[in-house]
């Protein structure tokens, strides 16, 4: 009889005076269920191994859309639908090769095209000029750059504890570098991969061509290849670099955001969005970026259904399409939301990889932020020690209007940029428990937002 009595006493203490289960009791149920019965890891296995990469505009991305609709339905969503989104259609092709030629012979270098790059139309061969920054490029000018391949050899700042900040410091070179190099007559642009790892995996990622500048081929060298090329240039500044890529762009196509929801019992027209981006780059399997965010978001809905939680507000899971190539999914969702008059209380995004959760970064008004501060006492028993102003997520940011609360799951991201945008971003590199802890954290925050609002 003692276990039954103990359970009865704990249930009484977990119940408020109005007869409802307390937020802390619901959070305990969430963690117990996700950590012992969660299916996010197996969902990720199916997404990565059954479908693989999910480049926007590709056939595999469409398969992922279909998978998302079915998985949300099986998770218990009251309603599932797709929101049409127009996305780019670009292919990397099957040729991404590079080599440096000196008097000692040829050195093959690990390289891959940047997203959206034009092809080389056969082998492209030229001298290389190495720079560290956009400012150094401008100082050199056309006289020293014209007809050459610009090599941006800038590493992410390893001294920064926040790896996202280190990425942000190097990101402009990838996005702006090719067009800036073209302004001075460069025939191609290559960059050091945006990573803190010292490996031979080249990292892709979108580049942004300016409309008034000729488009030149753009690619990323691995960290190891970048070091090799820099060393070769020191001994032979006039070495010849050969680059060949057959990537190609096609007309834009229609795909879609995948949406599933549990209808609110009190405020059905007020939404809490939980999501990540369904698309990925076409190298690797898009496991950490952002398969983990996708399956964690689905797990929020499935868990709430499984433990019998009846939300006051409508809980809406959104699997956004095409974050990588311009955030078409997030922008389209916000546009449709505004046109439809949808009222959003908050949005939560996971797009930092499936690592150990630390808490949440947020974009809130001062009053909203003060309202959430007491929630830390509910979350600290689960090693979630922060709700901190500053950042949320790319997909949900178009919803920002000074009223909607935006939250991004914050994780221990020290290894994230080892995998990000590479062939190494695979299912095997995701830890099951860390993934499920993140899903539980997102579900716990969803419960707090639903029960207490933001006022």
pLDDT in tens, 212-243: 999 999 999 999 999 999 999 999 999 999 99
Report the top-level CATH class of 2-90+251-452.
Answer: alpha beta
pLDDT of residue 5: 36
Whose CA is closest to 278, among 254, 258, 303, 298?
258
Whose CA is closest to 55, among 351, 283, 296?
283
Q: What is the pLDDT of residues 131-159, one digit of tens each?
A: 999 999 999 999 999 999 999 999 999 99
- Kindly state the helix (H) or strand (E) to which residue 100 belongs, with its residue range: strand 96-102
Q: What is the pLDDT of residues 368-427, one digit of tens each?
A: 999 999 999 999 999 999 999 999 999 999 999 999 999 999 999 999 999 999 999 999
User: End-to-end CA distance of the chain, in Å?
Assistant: 44
Burial 361-398 (b: 16+ CB within 10 A, else e): bbbbeeebbebbeebeebbeebebeebeeebbbbbbbb
Query: CA-CA distance, 231 to 105, in Å (whole number)?
Result: 15
* Domain residue ranges in the chain: 2-90+251-452, 93-246
| Residue partners of 211: CB distance under 8 A and separation at least 6 | none
3-state secondary structure of 356: coil
3-state secondary structure of 76: coil
Q: Does domain 93-246 have CATH number 3.40.920.10?
A: no
- Cα Rg for the chain, rounded, in angstroms? 24
| Residue partners of 383: CB distance under 8 A and separation at least 6 | 356, 357, 358
Q: DSSP label at 62? A: H
């Amino acid at each position: 009889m003692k276990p039954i009595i103990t359970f009865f006493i704990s249930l009484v203490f977990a119940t408020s005076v109005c007869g409802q289960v307390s937020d802390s009791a619901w959070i305990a149920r969430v963690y117990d269920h996700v950590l012992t019965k969660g299916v996010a890891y197996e969902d990720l296995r199916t997404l990565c191994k059954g479908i693989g990469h999910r480049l926007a505009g590709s056939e595999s991305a469409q398969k992922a859309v279909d998978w998302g609709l079915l998985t949300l339905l099986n998770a218990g969503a009251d309603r599932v639908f797709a929101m049409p989104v127009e996305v780019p259609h670009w292919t990397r092709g099957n040729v991404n090769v590079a080599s440096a030629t000196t008097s000692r012979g040829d050195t093959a270098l690990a390289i891959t095209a940047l997203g959206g790059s034009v092809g080389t139309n056969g082998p492209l061969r030229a001298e290389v000029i190495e720079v560290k920054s956009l400012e150094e490029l401008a100082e050199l000018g056309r006289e020293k750059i014209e007809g050459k391949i610009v090599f941006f050899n800038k590493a992410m700042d390893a001294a920064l504890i926040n790896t996202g900040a280190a990425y942000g410091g190097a990101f402009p070179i990838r996005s702006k570098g090719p067009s800036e190099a073209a302004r001075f007559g460069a025939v191609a642009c290559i960059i050091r991969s945006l990573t803190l790892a010292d490996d031979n995996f080249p990292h892709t990622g979108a580049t942004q061509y300016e409309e008034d500048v000729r488009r030149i081929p753009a690619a990323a060298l691995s960290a190891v290849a970048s070091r090799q090329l820099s060393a070769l240039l020191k001994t032979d500044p006039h070495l010849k670099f050969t680059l060949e890529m057959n990537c190609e762009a096609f007309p834009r196509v229609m795909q879609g955001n995948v949406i599933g929801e549990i209808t609110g019992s009190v405020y059905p027209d007020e939404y809490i969005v939980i999501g990540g981006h369904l698309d990925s780059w076409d190298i690797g399997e898009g496991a950490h970026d952002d398969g983990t965010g996708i399956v964690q978001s689905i797990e929020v809905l499935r868990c709430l259904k499984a433990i019998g939680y009846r939300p006051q507000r409508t809980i809406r899971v959104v699997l956004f399409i095409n974050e990588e190539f311009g955030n078409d999914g997030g922008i389209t969702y916000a546009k449709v939301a505004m046109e439809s008059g949808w009222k959003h209380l908050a949005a939560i995004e996971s797009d930092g990889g499936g690592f150990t959760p630390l808490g949440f970064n947020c974009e809130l008004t001062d009053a909203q932020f003060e309202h959430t501060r007491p929630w830390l006492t509910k979350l600290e028993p689960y090693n979630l020690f922060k709700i901190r102003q500053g950042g949320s997520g790319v997909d949900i940011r178009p919803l920002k209007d000074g009223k909607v609360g935006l939250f991004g799951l914050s994780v221990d991201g020290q290894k994230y940029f080892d995998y990000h945008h590479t062939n190494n971003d695979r299912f095997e590199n995701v830890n099951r428990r860390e993934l499920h802890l993140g899903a539980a954290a997102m579900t716990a925050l969803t419960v707090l937002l639903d029960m207490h609002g933001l006022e």
